[in-house]
Structure 1
Amino acid sequence: MLKPLIGLIGIGLISGCVATASEVNASPQAATITNPNAQTHAELQQAIASLLGVSSVVISDSAFTQYSQEVIERAQHKDANGLLIMGRSTEIPDAIQLLTQGDKCLLQHVQSGNTANLSQVRCKLEDAQ
């Protein structure tokens, strides 16, 4: 009678480990920021610049608060008087997505798949629209 009970306990422990492992390996999901402030805004700008390989980017204060994805375009060229220089830009804008995986928030450059972990940003699953 004792051997079947030990077998059932072992099966329960193994299935518990499998569930935990699948939670850890859960795929990232679209998210929005829950704690927008100056510190998180600066971290987002720095992480995006790093992902794009540029020195700095400008994003709105409300970036990632309603939607998980933002589009980043290169600044338009201006002349010495501050007027836009006419011309056609053929560059495709970059898409950046905020994701959550477990209790982590991260940014992903959609085109390359590269990611950056965020330490100050807190996020939640994006609301279905």
Structure 2
Amino acid sequence: MLKPLIGLIGITLISGCVATASEVNASPQAATITNPSEQTHVELQQVIAHLLGASSVLISDSAFTQYSQEVIERAQHKDANGLLIMGRSNEIPDAVQLLKQGDSCLLQHVQSGNTAKLTQVRCKFESVQ
């Protein structure tokens, strides 16, 4: 009687490991941040700048807390009086998306598909609203 029970426990443990392994290989899905802080905000800005090939970017303190995507626009050039120097900008803004794959959180530049892994950020799958 004890041997079948031990076999059943072993099968359950093995199937649990298989599920975890398949999660790691699952495709990344839209996510939102769960631990917003000054550290995560700095990491997000640095990684976004890297993905966009920019020296720096500014994002809201609430970036990625409600939605998985953020749109990044170039700052408009202004003169000393605050008036636009170049007039209208025809540049298409960049989109960046937070993704979750297994236990990892990733940032992806939507246009290029380039992705970077985040180390400080924790995230959860984006809830459908």
TM-score (normalizing by structure 1): 0.83
Query: In the alignment, is the contact (CA less than 8 A) between 2:68 and 2:99 conserved in 1?
Result: yes
Q: Which residue of 2 aligns with 1:107?
A: 107
Query: In the alignment, is the contact (CA less than 8 A) between 2:63 and 2:70 conserved in 1?
Result: yes
User: Cα deviations across residues 10-44 of structure 1 (Å, max 9, x unaligned)?
Assistant: xx7xx947655432210000000000010000000
Q: Are 2:46 and 1:56 equivalent residues in the alignment?
A: no
| Runs of 4+ in structure 1 over 6 Å off | none
User: 1-side partners of 2:122 and 2:18: how far apart?
Assistant: 27
Q: Which residue of 1 aligns with 2:39?
A: 39
User: Cα deviations across residues 56-92 of structure 1 (Å, max 9, x unaligned)?
Assistant: 0000000000000000000011013332225221110
The amino acid of 1:125's aligned partner reads F
Q: Are 2:27 and 1:27 equivalent residues in the alignment?
A: yes
Which structure 1 segments of 5+ residues have no match?
Answer: 1-11
User: Cα deviations across residues 39-59 of structure 1 (Å, max 9, x unaligned)?
Assistant: 000000000000000000000
Aligned-pair identity in percent equals 84
TM-score (normalizing by structure 2): 0.83
Change (3 A) 1:46 1:25: same
Which structure 2 segments of 5+ residues have no match?
Answer: 1-10
